[in-house]
Amino acid sequence: MRVFPQPGDPRLRGASRQHVRIRVIKKKKVIVKKRKKLSSPSPLVTARPPVTTSPAGTIDLPEVQEPGCPPLGLESLRVSDNQLEASSSQSVGLGPHRGRLNIQSGLEDGDLYDGAWCAEEQDAEPWLQVDARHPVRFSGIITQGRNSIWRYDWVTSYKVQFSNDSRTWWGSRNRSTGMDAVFPANADPESPVLNLLPEPQVARFLRLLPQTWLQGGASCLRAEILACPVSDPSDPFPETPALASSDPLDFRHHNYKAMRKLMKQVNEQCPNITRVYSIGKSYQGLKLYVMEMSDHPGEHELGEPEVRYVAGMHGNEALGRELLLLLMQFLCREFLRGNPRVTRLLKETRIHLLPSMNPDGYETAFRRGSELVGWAEGRWNQQGIDLNHNFADLNTPLWEAEDDGLMPDTVPNHHLPLPTYYTLPNATVAPETRAVIEWMVRIPFVLSANLHGGELVVSYPFDMTRTPWAARELTPTPDDPVFRWLSTVYAGTNWAMQEPDRRPCHNQDFSLHGNIINGADWHTVPGSMCPRVALPVP
Question: Looking at the DSSP assignment, which residues form a beta bridge with residue 353?
Answer: 291, 309
Q: Please check whether residues 369 and 508 belong to one and the same domain.
A: yes
End-to-end CA distance of the chain: 10
Report whether 209 contacts 50 (CB < 8 A).
no
Rounded to the nearest 5 degrees, what angle is found at the Cα of 215, between the Cα atoms of 191 and 193?
20
Q: Please check whether residues 207 and 330 belong to one and the same domain.
A: no
Phi, psi for 441 (deg, rounded to 5) = -70, -35
Phi, psi for 307 (deg, rounded to 5) = -125, 140
Phi, psi for 400 (deg, rounded to 5) = -65, -40
Domain boundary, last residue among 229, 264, 280: 229
pLDDT in tens, 94-106: 999 999 999 988 7
**In the prediction, which pLDDT does 136 show?**
96
**In the prediction, which pLDDT does 245 show?**
63
Query: Which are the contacts of 533, defined by CB distance < 8 A and separation ≥ 6?
Result: 449, 450, 451, 452, 458, 459, 490
Residues belonging to the chain = 538
Q: Please check whether residues 502 and 461 belong to one and the same domain.
A: yes
Q: Please check whether residues 471 and 340 belong to one and the same domain.
A: yes
**In the prediction, which pLDDT does 42 show?**
39
Query: Which are the contacts of 8, defined by CB distance < 8 A and separation ≥ 6?
Result: none
**In the prediction, which pLDDT does 100 show?**
95
In a domain, 421, yes or no: yes
Q: Please check whether residues 198 and 313 belong to one and the same domain.
A: no
- Parallel, antiparallel, or unpaired: how do β-strands 287-293 and 183-184 relate? unpaired
In a domain, 51, yes or no: no
Q: Please check whether residues 270 and 202 belong to one and the same domain.
A: no
Number of Cβ within 10 Å of residue 64's Cβ equals 6
Q: Please check whether residues 172 and 294 belong to one and the same domain.
A: no
**In the prediction, which pLDDT does 109 show?**
60
In a domain, 70, yes or no: no
Q: Please check whether residues 224 and 260 belong to one and the same domain.
A: no
Domain boundary, last residue among 229, 245, 275: 229
Q: Please check whether residues 262 and 218 belong to one and the same domain.
A: no
Peptide bond into 462 cis (omega under 30): yes
Q: What is the pTM of this model?
A: 0.77
In a domain, 67, yes or no: no
DSSP structure string for 266-314: HHHH-TTTEEEEEEEE-TTS-EEEEEEESSSTT---TTPPEEEEEE-SS
In 3D space, the residue among 372, 370, 390 whose CA is nearest the CA of residue 380 turns out to be 390
Of all helices (H) and strands (E), which one includes residue 222? strand 220-229
**In the prediction, which pLDDT does 494 show?**
87
Domain residue limits at 86: 81-229
Report whether 487 contacts 449 (CB < 8 A).
no
Report whether 333 contacts 314 (CB < 8 A).
no
Look up the CATH number of the domain holding residue 273: 3.40.630.10
**In the prediction, which pLDDT does 150 show?**
86
Rounded to the nearest 5 degrees, what angle is found at the Cα of 109, between the Cα atoms of 104 and 113?
40
Q: Give the integer Cα–Cα distance in Å for 99 and 74.
A: 8
- Across the chain, which distance is largest between two alpha carbons, in Å? 82
**In the prediction, which pLDDT does 45 show?**
41
Between the alpha carbon of residue 325 and those of residues 310, 332, 458, 496, the distances in Å are 11, 11, 20, 20
In a domain, 477, yes or no: yes
- Parallel, antiparallel, or unpaired: how do β-strands 445-453 and 532-535 relate? parallel
In a domain, 362, yes or no: yes
**In the prediction, which pLDDT does 508 show?**
81
In a domain, 69, yes or no: no
pLDDT in tens, 320-354: 999 999 999 999 999 999 999 999 999 999 999 99
> What DSSP state is assigned to residue 13?
G
Report whether 117 contacts 220 (CB < 8 A).
yes
Q: Please check whether residues 292 and 386 belong to one and the same domain.
A: yes
Q: Please check whether residues 277 and 335 belong to one and the same domain.
A: yes
Of all helices (H) and strands (E), which one includes residue 438? helix 431-442
The number of domains in the chain is: 2
Look up the CATH number of the domain holding residue 112: 2.60.120.260
Rounded to the nearest 5 degrees, what angle is found at the Cα of 359, between the Cα atoms of 356 and 364?
135
In a domain, 413, yes or no: yes
| Extended beta strands in 332-433, E state | 350-354
Q: Please check whether residues 127 and 263 belong to one and the same domain.
A: no
- pLDDT mean for each 10 residues of the chain (538 residues): 41 36 34 34 38 38 60 92 96 93 78 89 96 96 93 96 96 88 95 94 97 94 96 64 67 92 97 98 97 96 95 93 96 96 97 97 85 82 94 90 88 85 89 95 93 89 91 92 94 86 78 90 89 44
